[in-house]
Amino acid sequence: MAESKETPETADAPEAAKKVRLSLSKNKRVTIAVIVVAAVAVLGVAGYTWSTTPGFCSSLCHSPMANYVAGYDSDDPGLGITVHKAAGMNCLSCHDRSTVRQLGEFAHWATDSYQVDEEGFLVKDESMLTKEFCTREGCHTWDAVVDSTWGFAGNDEKYNPHASHQDGSITCNDCHKIHTTNELYCAKCHDMELPEGWVATSE
């Protein structure tokens, strides 16, 4: 029986195979790491994108927001929010999402300490819907608003709620309710045509 003779090449074969296995194992680890990082990145982007939508605002931790999201999706012409939606805006276009605010909102939700009115809407934030708030950079331009509302809704050209005789005592929120039905404050005294979906202020 012939003895098998080990050549230098065959002697190195197990070592070479071991190196190949280690190389494959290292490549496999790198591939898995890349896949995990990519998956986390995709989930992070998807999660962030979802967090900017109205649907996020009515999810479990934002339960008092259901009325707001329903209005956003309603296409009701009497709600200011539907006009903003048609312009491509969402909740975060107007509402601050700073970490401090979000933590505060979570604390109110967790302790059930947020205040709602009889219709289930949160008690209004008085800093919203002021002239200063609505004419922030990137939002409404006051002069353009005034120029575009002479004879609004088919009324006589002399009428303009944004250039009224009230000398600035009327704020945006007196008419524009955004999440509830808009009210025409001028109709308290004047017999006027109402914009579609609006009601006359009764008080």
Query: For residue range 37-62, what is the model confidence (pLDDT) as tens digits?
Result: 888 888 877 777 777 777 777 676 66
Torsion angle in degrees (nearest 10) through CA of 21, 22, 25, 29: -170
**What single letter denotes the amino acid at residue 124?**
K
Given a contact cutoff of 8 angstroms between Cβ atoms, the answer to whether 52 and 90 are in contact is yes
- The pLDDT of residue 64 is 78
pLDDT tens readout for residues 92-150: 888 877 888 878 888 888 888 888 888 888 876 666 778 899 999 889 999 999 999 99
**Half-sphere exposure at residue 158, Cβ-oriented, CA atoms within 13 angstroms:** 3
Q: Give the helix/strand (H/E) hosting 184.
A: strand 183-184
pTM over 0.95: no
Q: In sequence order, what are the beta bridge partners of 184? A: 200
Name the one residue in this structure whose structure tokens are 């649907």: 55
Mean pLDDT is lowest, of 146-150, 173-177, 192-196, for 173-177
* Dihedral of alpha carbons 59, 63, 114, 176, sign: positive
Give the CA distances from residue 110 to residues 64, 85, 113, 120, in Å, rounded to whole numbers and listed in that order. 12, 29, 8, 17
Q: In sequence order, what are the beta bridge partners of 79? A: 181
**Half-sphere exposure at residue 1, Cβ-oriented, CA atoms within 13 angstroms:** 1
Strand ranges (DSSP E) for the chain?
Answer: 183-184, 199-200
Q: Where are the domains of the chain?
A: 124-203
